[in-house]
A = this chain, B = another copy of it.
Amino acid sequence: MTYCVGIRVDAGLVFTSDSRTNAGVDAASMHSKMRFYGVPGERQFVLCWAGNLATTQGVVAQIERDMRDQAETSLLSVTNMGEAAEYIGALSLQEQAKNTGGGPAFQATFLIGGEIKGGQCRCYMVYAEGNYIESSVQTPFLQVGEFKYGKPILDRVLAMDTPLDQAAICSLVSMDATMRSNLTVGPPIEMYVYDAGSLQPGRYKRFEEDDGYLWDVKRAWNTRVKEAFARMPGIEWSSKDAGQQPPST
């Protein structure tokens, strides 16, 4: 299983992904699910993915070949982020169909974020069908893979004016919630943070299972949540609350 989140706030992008693949509990192996590419001063991209490993590796390899071979369409030639998403979608469909004819078992979803000179910093999710959606002001994040456990904290915390470092910490807490509930999502955790408007490569971190900072975040969050609970408004019970029956179905 996989969990990746792409956040786009005013200040830029945060992409965070786990590295567990093909994880029956006995056959857990690790693969990075993140890449970033760019031409300083001109364009920067970051990618994450979930789904069939052959499909995703095929897409990534083709993206890199297209750039190397200066193909007519590549991340070096697209003129806006929507075109980049469209390109990834087309590659994904092509890889899904290759050898296998396609079908649910070969599907994959991608997150692509980035910025091209003259445009804005953006974040898209590309569905297995090749179509795509963009993050919004109301929901400044997109997720692929095992997304439900980690969604509530993103919902509560993220807004367009959230500072990048806080968005980054939020993505780690979201990842931690997911790893705790689903053993097939696991470290190392990769994180890429891009400053909007810079058009320079972002900052990248890889947190191993025993990473001190990752443990600090985990511990601090657990402590804070318990503290927060101790200060929640108490329930006021009245005598009429005892021994009632709920209304009939």
Contacts and interface: CB of A to CB of B under 8 A. Distances in A.
Interface string A205-249: 110000001001100111011111111111111000111111111
Nearest to A228: B224
A21 B181 CA distance: 27
A233 B219 CA distance: 10
A34 B246 CA distance: 7
A201 B235 contact: no
A169 B235 contact: yes
Contacts of A206: 246-247
Given A148-B148, A181-B148, A225-B153, A232 B245 contact: no
Contact of A241 (B35, B177, B205): B205
A235 to B, nearest CB: 6
Contacts of A149: 148-149, 151-152
B228 A228 contact: yes
Task: Report the contact-size class of chain A (Cβ under 8 Å from the partner).
Answer: 35 or more
How many of these chains are in the complex?
Answer: 2
Contacts of A236: 213
A203 B156 contact: no
A60 interface: yes
14 contacts: A31-B249, A35-B246, A36-B245, A151-B181, A152-B153, A155-B180, A155-B181, A156-B225, A165-B234, A203-B237, A203-B241, A204-B241, A204-B244, A220-B232
B155 A229 contact: no
A1 interface: no
A75 interface: no
Given A151-B181, A228-B228, A249-B60, A156 B217 contact: no
Contact of A213 (B150, B170, B235): B235
A152 B168 contact: no
